[in-house]
Copies of this chain bind each other. A is one copy, B any other.
Amino acid sequence: MLEQLSAVLDARAGFIFACASLASIAVAAAVDKAVPSERVEEFKLANGLQVVVIPDHRASVVTQMVWYKVGAADEPPGTSGIAHFLEHLMFKGTDLIANGQFSKIIAKNGGEDNAFTNHDVTAYFQRVAKDRLPKVMEMEADRMVNLRLSVEDVETERKVILEERRSRVDNDPGSILQEQMMAALYRNHPYGVPIIGWEHEIRALDREDAFAFYRRFYAPENAILIVGGDVEPEEVKKLAEETFGKIPRHGSASVRARPEEPDHLAAVKVTLQDPRAGRTTVQRYFLAPSYTTAEPGEAEALDLLMRIAASGSVSRIYKRLVVEQKKAANAGGWYSDTGLDSGRLGFYAIASDGMSSEDLEKGIEEVIEELRTGGVTQEELDRARAAQLAEFVYATDSMPHLARHYGWRLATGMTVEDVEEWPERLKQVTVDDIRTAARKFLVDKNSVTGVLLVAPEHTSRMDGQPVQAPPGRKS
């Protein structure tokens, strides 16, 4: 509930990463010795498709991922949700694949598949036995250009998505608050618009919106193919040329032109009262750079800062609020580090019995203020760095995780070298770097505080009053 809703993951065949949690991805950001550069090979097809191969012969399976460099932040105004909607529709049919059969064919071949959409990327992936790779690559290439959609397909899928929104967001006060906090944090940039879309805009999306988005952004030169597992680069190259290679270059550049965020001058607080809330909760978000936008070394320092400050039961915030002060039943935080245009730092605390939001706010502020003034100790840094590297090595021992790690970073503007050099850069972070980062980015005016309060079932005398139609919507 308290992680960021940073991606809408659509589980279709049980092949689920914990990929709604950027915290786990932030952790999974080191390669150290586990992934020497000779393991990864990249090349481009003539039509511009970038291909990355990560051989790993321990088991006779392969992971295929196609990452499109497009996400919810690229949607035309008023059509929020179309990136995610289209991702759903990509599982309909083509001339070769009968309607609704894509995932069933993968499953019949013993494989698993899935897809997800976030603000910056849309990705499709399959894990299959090695000998099925030609089949799934053909299928994935086919739907890059040959999608067929009926008006009924769109209507049916709209219902699915509205139900998804209802269950994941509208029925969950924590998700509602996150949505409102993101809207408050990003006042001009489209990261403030929810990935799944505003409900009233989802209702208005149609087949033409989906095709317009598809035709504009789904193109070989706007995609990255990642194949990992029991393959060698030559095999992948041959297969890719026979499948994706036959798709003509799109031609018109699929430029991402997004409104930029103005300077932030005023701190914002968002308060949600909801009878369905379990406990009083306080969150704080701070604007911060991502790996893509940071100055050299800054994102690495933020990674370690947030690990020390807020990751797990040895973190500053947990020890202070949960163990010592007993104000919170749980407390933590994260660094959302993969955005094309921006990152975020987050802290949260869930109240213990009898504690108020003010108690939590004060506790969180004390932890943050200590980071600003005192920074962290060398011992904390050493321990955090060792844990970060070990955790990453462990996480990326899973091929899907590793492939996803490369895919996400390559699709948001980094290079294979950036990814591979990361452990070395992490090793260079000093306590001074971390204190500088804390002072630079844990700044009130760049923050949004979110307060979730448990409202009584009948929250006010307004119950039963007609609801006002929001601006621009004639009810």
Contacts and interface: CB of A to CB of B under 8 A. Distances in A.
Interface of A: 77-78, 80, 176-177, 180, 183-184, 186-193, 198-201, 257-274, 287-289, 293, 339, 341-342, 372-373, 439-441, 443-446, 450, 461-462, 465-474
B268 A270 contact: yes
Nearest to A339: B471
Nearest to A473: B260
Given A268-B270, A471-B191, A471-B341, A259 B201 contact: yes
Nearest to A467: B263
Contacts of A257: 78
Nearest to A474: B293
Contact of A266 (B176, B259, B471, B473): B176
Contact of A184 (B176, B184, B274): B184
Contacts of A443: 462, 468
A401 to B, nearest CB: 27
A461 B436 CA distance: 12
A176 B267 CA distance: 12
B441 A468 contact: yes
A287 B198 CA distance: 18
B471 A200 contact: no
A439 B468 contact: no
A184 B472 contact: no
A471 B293 contact: yes
B176 A187 contact: no
A372 B465 CA distance: 12
Contacts of A187: 180, 183-184, 192
27 contacts: A77-B258, A78-B260, A80-B188, A80-B259, A177-B266, A180-B187, A188-B198, A199-B262, A200-B260, A260-B472, A261-B471, A261-B472, A262-B470, A265-B272, A267-B271, A267-B272, A268-B268, A268-B270, A269-B269, A287-B470, A288-B468, A289-B469, A341-B472, A439-B465, A443-B462, A443-B468, A446-B468
Contacts of A473: 260-261
A39 B159 CA distance: 54
Contacts of A191: 471
B263 A470 contact: yes
Given A177-B266, A198-B262, A471-B191, A440 B461 contact: no
A179 to B, nearest CB: 8
Contact of A289 (B77, B267, B288, B468): B468
